[in-house]
Structure 1
Amino acid sequence: MCSVKAIEGEASFDVPAAGKPCMTWYKVYGDLTSRTHRPLVVLHGGPGSPHEYLDIFSEIYRLYSIPVVLYDQLGNGRSTHLREKNGDTAFWTVQLFIDELHNLLSHLGIHDDYALLGHSWGGMLAASYAIQQPAGLKKLIIADSPASMPLWVEVANELRKELPQDVQDALNKHEADGTIYDKEYIDATTVFYDRHLCRIHPMPKPLADSFDWMDKDSTVYLTMNGPTEFHITGSLKTWSVVDDLHKIKVPTLLINGQYDEAQDKVVLPFFKHIPNVKWVQFADSAHVPHLEETERYMLILGAYLKGD
């Protein structure tokens, strides 16, 4: 892979409830003014895991000349941080991030024609956004995402039962005792992540870098999700878009990995209820197939984006 240069910038984002000026940091691969190819906007996961682990999507520009927009959502990475809003579920809402996306698209001048890819939490956000039927959205990719958090928790508990018994015991003990920052608990979660987050060892540096940002400021993750991927205590605990998926009218590509946290059961509602949908699974991947099977991933994504 050759290096591809990017242009970085900041978009002012007016959030009165924040109590201070806010901005969204972004990075663009390619020329958004050429209009030769529809740009792809990529939404990161977490919530709270900024763009670094998605930088590989620069390959879409290198291979297909499709411009790519990455950004750090509010409270994350290089965008404005709001640690004082930790635990404020009335502030950290899905609609806040939908509003931020609208603002960024307008700032970049691409609000009338773009494709959208959301990974994990980003796919949840992308689905919520697409349900509102924004006029400029032409194609949607939902990658490694649940249609319902109750389904996500159900599947996570099923996957936990496949872990070694001593690992299960450690997880259960520390969650019951409220000692989830104990080393034994953290080590136990690592066993789960090695199976269902990323099957490349050691963890790819871009993914580790995104987690480092979350360690620096876990405000958004703890408020909306909770302490781990399978111990959901935040405001998203009851989130679901299953009943509204029929409102997504744009062509949609679903992606997951065979060993993904986002098992088939959590992806299936997208496939059943979105009218125009295609589903691709990556046989050798967990939750980040764009890192685990990059070449095949970019071929599939490029063909989908360039197709009619």
Structure 2
Amino acid sequence: MKQILALAALGLAITGCVKIEDDGTSTPTEPARDLAAYLDGSLLDDGWSGGERLVSIDTSDGPHNVWIKRTGNNPEMKLLLLHGGPGGTSDYFGAFDSFLPGTAVEYYRYDQLGAGRSDKPDNDALWTIPRFVDEVDQVREAIGGDGSNFCLLGHSWGGILAIEYALAHPGEVKCLVISNMMASIPAYNRYADEVLKPQMAPEKLARVEQLEAEGKIDDPDYMGILMPEFYEKHILRRPAAEWPEPVNYGFAQMNQHVYVLMQGPSELGASGLLEDWDRFEDLAKIGVPTLVISGKHDTMDPAHMAAMAKKLPQGELVATEGSHMAMYDDQKAYFAGLNAFLLRQAKRGD
């Protein structure tokens, strides 16, 4: 019976008849999109494969394939999810499947080149921001996105990529979400040095930094210290044994070469090719509605992220009580804010 009621609630929520509250009560909402039309992919080219397909992209290294998966059917509102890393996978966006269908947005998980189910070319010349931005633009074209219907959500490194895309292709973006990513790596490193690292026991921090300096990040001590002392406090605030499978799988499948090359060996600050990246002042050039999502316990300074929302001409802030993976450890605030933002953007231009 509970399953039947849950399915009925989902159908009503998507069609916009009611909003289901935490206490089980319902309130009227404005119509979103017909449930049958949203779920019907029979006429789409990827319908036979459940929305999964490979997209061929052109690079200086020749053509390569990247993996994407569509959920929903709404040509008027397409959302592309940009995962973290670099070199991570989109699997942890699986949590979105429990919440985003209520907005009736057509959304895409997507493994960037070098990650997950996508090709993994052995060519370090490919791992640059401009090349990644060009890749996102080719994926946008493949899914039929343009300035009237295309939104980007970038989490962590994906937030850097989303900012860079919006600056490079302002006419192709309807709305933007920057999730758990500061607009300045130097500021991120200062926050790590001044706020986060001092929270660790000095001898443990010294051991981590020693292993990094010696290039011995595969030593059991490295993650043995970082997991309980840092990752469980600032990445996902649950004991590692309770971390959800999509998160564990994504970490296990991380392309460590790309990650270390661009980010550095861990989340304890950045020391790779991204070390000098800073776009804070350029946020003023992003004219589309932009949602910034922060976490009180994140590796990213929540005060800096609040300042980002003010710097953006149409910026909004959702401040959660979560950490870097706030879509897991503060789902209520994260998705209430995200869904409300997406619903408002869907109505623009109606």
**TM value normalised by structure 2:** 0.79
Identify the residue that residue 268 of structure 2 maps to in structure 1: 230
Q: Work out which of the two has the higher radius of gyration on C-alpha atoms and give 1 or 2.
A: 2
Matches within 5 A, 1:148-187: 148-157=184-193, 158-187=195-224
Greater relative contact order: 1 or 2 (C-alpha under 8 angstroms, separation 6 or more)? 1
Identify the residue that residue 109 of structure 2 maps to in structure 1: 70
Is 1:275 the counterpart of 2:320 in the alignment?
A: no
Q: Is the 8 A contact 1:58 1:68 kept in 2?
A: no
Q: Which of 256, 260, 264 does residue 302 from structure 2 map onto? A: 264
Identify the residue that residue 239 of structure 1 maps to in structure 2: 277
Tell me the distance in 2 between the aligned counterparts of 1:241 and 1:255.
17
Is 1:206 the counterpart of 2:206 in the alignment?
A: no
Q: Which of 45, 55, 58 does residue 11 from structure 1 map onto? A: 55
Tell me the distance in 2 between the aligned counterparts of 1:160 and 1:91.
32
Tell me the distance in 2 between the aligned counterparts of 1:293 and 1:140.
21
Q: Which of 111, 132, 147 does residue 97 from structure 1 map onto? A: 132
Change (3 A) 1:118 1:152: same
Change (3 A) 1:275 1:99: same
Give a deviation string over 1:49-100, Cα, whole Å, max 9, x none. Answer: 1100012222344212211111000000011102x22xx3x43111111111
Structure 1 moving runs of 4+ over 6 Å: 1-5
Q: Is the 8 A contact 1:12 1:24 kept in 2?
A: yes
User: Structure 1 residues 92-101 or 3-12, which shifts more?
Assistant: 3-12
Q: Is the 8 A contact 2:74 2:105 kept in 1?
A: no
- Structure 1 regions of 5+ residues with no counterpart? none
In the comparison of the two structures, how many residue pairs are matched?
296
Q: Is the 8 A contact 1:171 1:185 kept in 2?
A: yes
Letter in 2 for 1:24: V
Q: Which of 92, 107, 115 does residue 53 from structure 1 map onto? A: 92
For residue 231 of structure 1, report the CA deviation from its aligned partner.
Answer: 4.9
Task: Give the share of equivalent positions with the same residue, in percent.
Answer: 32
Identify the residue that residue 119 of structure 2 maps to in structure 1: 80
For residue 290 of structure 1, report the CA deviation from its aligned partner.
Answer: 0.9
For residue 259 of structure 1, report the CA deviation from its aligned partner.
Answer: 0.3
Q: Is the 8 A contact 2:188 2:269 kept in 1?
A: no
Change (3 A) 1:269 1:296: closer
Q: Which of 143, 157, 168 does residue 121 from structure 1 map onto? A: 157
Is 1:108 the counterpart of 2:143 in the alignment?
A: yes
User: Structure 1 residues 165-174 or 136-145, which shifts more?
Assistant: 165-174
Letter in 2 for 1:80: D
For residue 12 of structure 1, report the CA deviation from its aligned partner.
Answer: 0.6
Give a deviation string over 1:184-206, Cα, whole Å, max 9, x none. Answer: 12212212111100002222211
- Superposed CA RMSD: 2.0
